[in-house]
């Protein structure tokens, strides 16, 4: 009786499968894969043998040897299978291969395919191949309705450029978009990316970063939470306070564009650029950096903070630009420019001017256009001020043309010196000596042993040397040929109290590090006048030095 039942079942299945093969052939010739509202069946195309197992699989046909099946445009191959005709599903075993068109292939040791849901569950040595993209895992589900494959127990996706590993991931065959979460690593010959969550398009080679991410290459590191990274062009568009670092230099901004090949970083919004070796920092609202030529440009509330000398120097300007020149030769040097409305503050020194240039070749910082320099209780101004630095602090200062030295003694009394050129020499960061040449005029209040002013000394000379103590004039040496007169305190004429170019600019002096943002101009009547230089030679420091040595 059991043999008779098996024969009847085999005859029935063979008839049904034969009819399905004929129907499948007509679909393959060009008709629609499925008809809306109608069930699309699995069809057996070939098997070396078919049989039934009433005891264990009463609703299945067992297919053995070179099994070939089809549902609409998808073909399945395997060593053996259980075909459930009523349930419209199949369990495939051994060398499973699913093909869709001539570009999509899915391999595995085992597959459970539901023809009604149109979903395949593939297990064991799973490999999905979509043209040049390969997804490998041990367990994968593939939804043919939307052509979406996803894994949940670790997997690897690779294309011609990169390899991505993660614990969970999905791949959209239509859009070529992949999504990865949990311990994501993207390996590329040029860089490595570690992420919490990542989207990657195998057609455009663009990674969309949507979680904590770090990108490392031989020279740089990118740290971000949100943005895009083009793995082909190696360009990053980053948001949410991202960071790009290159050795000792690092830039942070609300948004960043970074091109690894050109070395260019462009930052927007509350940017911070730090150099831990140079011990300085640049901030502003817009920044441009090129790491290949070691240049940086910051504007819109631009500030440089230099903490290389212990006490931090804060300097603001409309624009601050720094560049390294001749980086490829032994004559490398650094140049920094600050343009328009320059204001600087340090606890012992403050400055304002229109523009400023620092050149590392002579370690000179030059201030242009109405420059003023304050040192403790001293004020210096001229047409141009040059500050020469040594490794630790200021070495000496050169003030050129329309110069004025002013030192407050009391509410209305000031020591004042003017000339064509001044030089101030520092020793261990403290002002020690001042030299002045060219039409020198002096208003000087000498003091007695108790520190009380004795009167006013008014002198005119061709040159002058003054020695300083605690940032103030302690002793003045004037040649014997000088013209001068001394007025007791009670007999000082009002017109003799001040030099003709005297001005005290406390109202424009930066008072603290936050005050560098509040620009205050000189009043028009106190600005320097343009002076046409005559042909008559003036005394120079070269002549001054010769006379001093003699």
Instruction: Identify whether 303 is part of a domain.
Output: no
Return per-residue pLDDT of the chain as tens, 550 residues.
444 344 444 444 444 444 343 333 333 333 334 444 577 889 999 999 998 876 677 788 999 999 999 999 999 999 999 999 889 999 999 999 999 988 899 999 999 999 999 999 999 999 999 999 999 999 999 999 999 999 999 999 999 889 999 999 999 999 999 999 999 999 999 999 999 999 999 999 999 999 999 999 988 999 999 999 999 999 999 999 999 998 888 999 999 999 999 999 999 999 999 888 878 889 999 999 998 888 888 999 999 988 877 778 899 999 998 887 765 566 677 788 999 999 999 888 899 999 999 888 888 889 999 999 998 888 999 999 999 987 657 889 999 999 999 999 887 899 999 999 999 998 887 888 999 999 999 999 988 888 888 999 999 999 999 998 877 788 888 876 778 899 999 899 999 999 998 999 999 999 999 999 988 887 765 666 555 544 434 455 565 555 555 4
φ, ψ dihedrals at 2, nearest 5°: -65, -35
Is there a domain that residue 412 lies in?
yes
Boundaries of domain holding 405: 337-550
CB 45 within 8 A of CB 70: yes
CA angle, corner 408, sides to 417 and 350, nearest 5?
90
pLDDT of 179: 96
Q: pLDDT for 153-192, tens place per residue?
A: 999 999 988 999 999 999 999 999 999 999 999 999 999 9
In-domain check, residue 260: no
Q: Quote the strand ranges of 276-348, DSSP E.
A: 280-290, 295-306, 313-325, 333-345
Closest CA to 504 of 409, 367, 425: 409
Query: Is there a domain that residue 509 lies in?
Result: yes
Q: Can you give the C-alpha Rg of the chain in angstroms?
A: 42
CA dist., res. 524 & res. 196, Å (int): 60
Enclosing H/E stretch for 548: helix 541-549
421 assigned to some structural domain = yes
Q: What is the pTM of this model?
A: 0.75
**Domain presence at residue 374:** yes
Instruction: List the structure tokens of 304.
Output: 């440089």
Task: Measure Cα distances from 490 to 238, 293, 456, 460 in Å.
Answer: 71, 64, 10, 22
| 385 φ/ψ angles, rounded to the nearest 5 degrees | -125, 125
- The pLDDT score that the predictor gives to residue 473 is 82
How far from chain centre, in Å, is Cα 419?
48
Residue 279 half-sphere exposure toward CB, CA atoms < 13 A: 10
Report yes or no on 211 lying in a domain. no
In a domain, 530, yes or no: yes
How many structural domains comprise the chain?
Answer: 1
Place of tokens 């008779």: 4
pLDDT at 549: 53
Both tokens of residue 230? 């083009």
**pLDDT the model gives residue 158:** 95
Give the per-residue SS3 of 412-438: CCEEEEEEEEEEEEEECCEEEEEEEEE
Q: Which of 255, 265, 268, 211 is nearest to 235 (CA)?
A: 265
What's the CATH code of the domain at 460?
A: 2.60.450.10
- For residue range 262-294, list pLDDT tens digits in order: 999 999 999 999 888 878 889 999 999 998 888
Alpha carbon separation from 325 to 84, 305, 363, 365, 482 (Å, rounded): 77, 22, 14, 17, 48
């Amino acid at each position: 009786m059991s043999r008779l039942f098996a024969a009847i079942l085999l005859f029935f299945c063979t008839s049904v499968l034969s009819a399905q093969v004929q129907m499948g052939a007509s679909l393959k010739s060009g008709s629609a894969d499925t008809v809306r509202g109608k069930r699309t069946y699995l069809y057996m195309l070939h098997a070396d043998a078919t049989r039934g197992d009433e005891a264990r699989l009463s609703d299945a046909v067992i297919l053995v040897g070179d099994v070939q099946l089809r549902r609409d445009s998808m073909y399945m191959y395997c060593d053996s299978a259980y075909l459930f005709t009523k349930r419209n599903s199949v369990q495939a075993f051994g060398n499973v291969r699913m093909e869709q068109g001539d570009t999509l292939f899915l391999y595995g040791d085992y597959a459970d395919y539901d023809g009604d849901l149109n979903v395949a569950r593939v297990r064991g040595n799973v490999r999905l191949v979509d043209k040049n993209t390969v997804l490998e895992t041990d367990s994968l589900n593939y939804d043919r309705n939307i052509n979406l494959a996803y894994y949940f127990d670790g997997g690897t996706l690779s294309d011609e450029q990169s390899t991505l590993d993660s614990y969970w991931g999905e791949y959209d065959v239509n859009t070529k978009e992949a999504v990865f979460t949990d311990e994501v690593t993207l390996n590329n010959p040029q860089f490595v990316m570690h992420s919490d969550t990542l989207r990657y398009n195998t057609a455009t080679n663009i990674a969309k970063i949507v979680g904590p991410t770090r990108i490392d290459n031989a020279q740089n590191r990118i740290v971000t939470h949100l943005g895009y990274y083009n793995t082909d062009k190696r360009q990053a568009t980053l948001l949410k306070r991202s960071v790009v670092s290159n050795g000792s230099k690092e830039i942070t901004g609300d948004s960043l564009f970074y091109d690894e090949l050109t070395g260019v970083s462009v930052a927007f919004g509350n940017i911070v650029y730090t150099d831990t070796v140079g011990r300085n920092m640049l901030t502003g609202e817009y920044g441009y950096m090129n790491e290949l030529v070691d240049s940086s440009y910051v504007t819109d509330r631009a500030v440089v903070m230099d903490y290389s000398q212990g006490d931090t120097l804060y300097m603001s300007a409309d624009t601050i630009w720094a560049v390294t020149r001749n980086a490829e030769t032994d004559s490398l040097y650094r140049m920094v420019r600050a343009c328009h409305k320059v204001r600087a503050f340090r606890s012992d020194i403050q400055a304002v001017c229109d523009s400023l240039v620092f050149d590392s070749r002579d370690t000179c910082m030059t201030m242009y256009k109405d420059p003023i320099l304050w040192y403790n209780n001293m004020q210096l101004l001229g047409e141009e001020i040059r500050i020469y630095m040594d490794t630790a602090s200021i070495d000496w200062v050169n003030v050129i043309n329309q110069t004025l030295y002013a030192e407050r003694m009391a509410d209305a009394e000031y020591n004042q010196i003017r000339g064509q050129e001044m030089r101030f020499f520092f020793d261990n960061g403290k002002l020690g000596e001042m030299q002045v040449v060219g039409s020198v005029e002096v208003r000087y209040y000498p003091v007695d042993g108790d520190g009380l002013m004795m009167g006013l000394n008014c002198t005119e000379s061709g040159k002058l040397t003054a020695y300083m103590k605690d940032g103030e004039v302690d002793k003045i040496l004037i040649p014997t040929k000088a013209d001068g007169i001394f007025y007791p305190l009670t007999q000082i004429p009002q017109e003799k109290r001040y030099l003709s170019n005297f001005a005290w600019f406390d109202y424009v002096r930066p008072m603290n590090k936050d005050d560098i943002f509040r620009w205050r101009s000189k009043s028009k009547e106190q600005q320097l006048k343009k002076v046409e230089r005559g042909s008559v030679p003036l005394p120079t420091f070269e002549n001054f030095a010769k006379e001093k040595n003699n």
